[in-house]
Amino acid sequence: MGANFVTRVLEDVRIVALEQFGAGPYGSVHLADLGADVIKIEDPRSGGDIGRYVPPFQEGEDSLFFETFNRNKRSLSLNVTNSAGRGVFEDLVRRSDVVFSNLRGDVPKKMGITYEELRHVNPAIVCCNLSGFGATGPLSSEPGYDYIFQGMAGWMDLTGDPDGPPTKSGLSVVDFSGGLVAAIAVLAGVHAARRDGIGTDCDVSLFDTALSMLTYPATWYLNGGLVPERTRHSAHPSIVPFQAFLTNDHWIVVACAKEKFWRRLCDALRRPDLGDDERFDSFATRRANRDVLIPILDTAFLAKGSAYWLTRLKEFGVPCGPVNTLAEALDEPQALAREMIVTTEHPRFGEVRQVASPVNVVRDERSYRRAPLLNEDARDILFGLLGYDDAAIQELSVAGAFTE
């Protein structure tokens, strides 16, 4: 293999996914984009993944919501609670590396999809479940959703204007972060299974994920009792200035995360005196005198428009950026240069444009295939992968493997 050898880096990994909605599918879509064969098991009793029916832009058994989280995957309608369906499921497990699910914490054991229940089928199988609260603890049997975790983990108390109500993020950040954590767990489990020949369970919790993302504010509190307060204009809790500023036409973000950036900002504002002022000459003094400094900066930025300030600040080497609308973010030259908008063709929606995975392995040859129609890949999976013949499939159908 030469230096220019290119392949799909996960093309030798097969994942059987009992997943739905957002968190689980978001985790596995990154693996599918890297070439993993993600076989999405969809329950015929419920019409498949509930994400197929999320409005807007929803028709029949398809939606743009579903497209977002399920490109590059395959779909098989299978009733795994039926004995015949269970047999098909176990045949898939024999030929796979991972069973991935995002079910309530107590459900995998009840369904028999943990390592203990599947090791006899495949000793190297990795069983990963992404649930709200995990498989243990007093809340393991409770359902959980992103907004709930943003509240429970303290995020909403830290977010928003000081005089406003607790505020959630504009996106389902816990769901998406939990999906990424689950993907990491899957890759770690597969690595160990291939090294040792022994699989494992991966018990990933959205609540754990949200709590872990408290990071340094949690450390401050646990070791010094400091509780960060909500800040005006989304300011950093300890670094000043590091926040949004309103210009005379729009908002921008300025981030002086190093002393040199503060000095450069003073020069860009034509206020070198601020840099020499003992009230503002260090991280500590600027934080202590935030209420004096920020109004001075607010007045300065209001004097001109965002385009002027962004150009000038960049000329002086001050980290900054616009507060974009959704449309502006998707049209950023950097996003286009990084090929972060990808296109697939769909029989119902036509050309579908969406954001790409940020997981960029240079040796990987990126390609994108639309999300599967419900049960679209049954023939390829049953005949091609599992080697069933017509008689076997007819027998399984009669036994209820593929129906309600």
Range 310-339 average pLDDT: 97
The pTM for the full model equals 0.93
Residue type, 404: E
With bands split at pLDDT 50, 70 and 90, how would you rate the model's confidence at 209?
very high
* CATH 3.30.1540.10 in the chain, residue ranges: 232-246+251-322
Q: Are 254 and 245 in contact (CB under 8 A)?
A: yes
User: Confidence band (pLDDT; 50, 70, 90) for 1?
Assistant: very low
Residues catalogued as catalytic = 175
Per-residue pLDDT at 6: 53
Q: What are 215-235's pLDDT values in tens digits?
A: 999 999 999 999 989 999 999
pLDDT tens digits along 373-396: 999 999 999 999 999 999 999 999
Architecture of domain 232-246+251-322: 2-Layer Sandwich (3.30)
pLDDT at 368 over 80: yes
pLDDT mean over 342-360: 95
CA distance 340 to 342: 6
Is 168 exposed, middle or buried (CB count within 10 Å of its CB: 0-12, 13-18, 19+)?
Answer: middle
Mean pLDDT over residues 103-114, rounded? Answer: 96
How large is the average pLDDT for residues 335-357?
A: 95
Q: What pLDDT is attached to residue 4?
A: 55
Q: Sorting pLDDT into bands at 50, 70 and 90, what band is 362?
A: confident
Closest CA to 381 of 22, 75, 55: 75
Tell me where in the chain the CATH 3.40.50.10540 domain(s) lie: 14-213+343-398
Query: Is the four-CA dihedral 41, 194, 204, 354 of positive or negative sign?
Result: negative
Kindly report, residue by residue over 245-263, the tens digit of the pLDDT: 999 999 999 999 999 999 9
As a whole number of angstroms, the distance between CA 36 and CA 126 comes to 14
Residue 236 has pLDDT above 50, yes or no: yes
Q: Could you tell me whether strands 73-77 and 62-63 are parallel, antiparallel, or unpaired per DSSP bridges?
A: unpaired
How far apart CA 263 and CA 63 sit, in angstroms, is 51
Question: Percentage of residues in the chain with pLDDT exceeding 70?
Answer: 98
Superfamily of domain 14-213+343-398: Crotonobetainyl-coa:carnitine coa-transferase; domain 1 (3.40.50.10540)
40-97 pLDDT, tens per residue?
999 999 999 999 999 999 999 999 999 999 999 999 999 999 999 999 999 999 999 9
Percentage with pLDDT > 90 across the chain:
95
Q: Is pLDDT larger for residue 282 or for residue 366?
A: 282
**Tens of pLDDT, residues 276-305:** 999 999 999 999 999 999 999 999 999 999
